[in-house]
A and B are shown apart, each in its own frame.
Chain A
């Protein structure tokens, strides 16, 4: 008796369940910045589980290679896209990406080094 179908089913069930939970998270969160976070678990957890399931189920090297390629591309491009989207939202709202002095973001202020403000802005 082989356990591959059972393991494949468990992996796919976890992956699909996590994706459904994340989609509900996209629906119930307060604003777009919070909603942006929910694609990350899908890409970093669900996709590897599906790729592992493909490796278990399929002997075809084409399927394995393309599954890995899709995972890597999705991982890289989703992170870049999420950052670019959040940056676009902030510039749209505030008119600039750098934090304003009124926002008083302590972490960013402490990261300024030797007169050079973070993110290339002017130091206060």
Chain B
């Protein structure tokens, strides 16, 4: 499947660069900084999937973004509780 680049896909491509600071913070910071980097990157990837779904013109791909929102919330809460109690 060959898809012509459109403004949605260009935006998704540009948004990839927002993950680099999250990566740096997650690799170099302490435990708290890593968790913040993870949470911010989950927000960025959610938007990324939204843009890709619209860019490929497949509304069913929105389910990926929707699923990531729900799972990142649960995962973030678990990590936060883990940091609070055991780390």
Chain B proximity mask over A52-74: 1 for CB below 8 Å, otherwise 0: 00100110101100110110011
Alpha-carbon distance A74/B47, docked complex (angstroms): 10
B contact face: mostly helix, strand, loop, or mixed: helix
Interface size band for A? 35 or more
Pairwise interchain contact B83-A88, C-beta atoms closer than 8 A:
yes
For A1-43 the 0/1 string (1 means CB < 8 A from B) is 0000100110011011001101110110001100110110011
Contact call A73/B7, Cβ cutoff below 8 A: no
> How many Cβ-Cβ contacts under 8 Å join chain A to chain B?
142
Residues A23 and B66 in contact, CB atoms below 8 Å apart: no
Q: Is the CB of B76 within 8 A of A85?
A: yes
Residue from the list A12, A36, A70 in contact with B7, Cβ < 8 A: A12
Using CB atoms, name the residue of chain A closest to B20: A23
* Segment at the interface with B among A75-83, A98-106, A115-123: A75-83
Size of the chain B interface, CB-CB below 8 angstroms: 47
From A19, A20, A35, A91, give the contact of B36 (CB < 8 A): A35
Instruction: Report the bound CA distance from A7 to B87 in whole Å.
Output: 47
Q: Is the CB of A63 within 8 A of B77?
A: no
Contact partners of A69 in chain B: CB under 8 A: 66
12 CB-based A-B contacts, threshold 8 Å: A16-B18, A20-B14, A26-B25, A26-B36, A35-B37, A47-B47, A54-B50, A62-B62, A66-B63, A66-B66, A70-B66, A84-B76
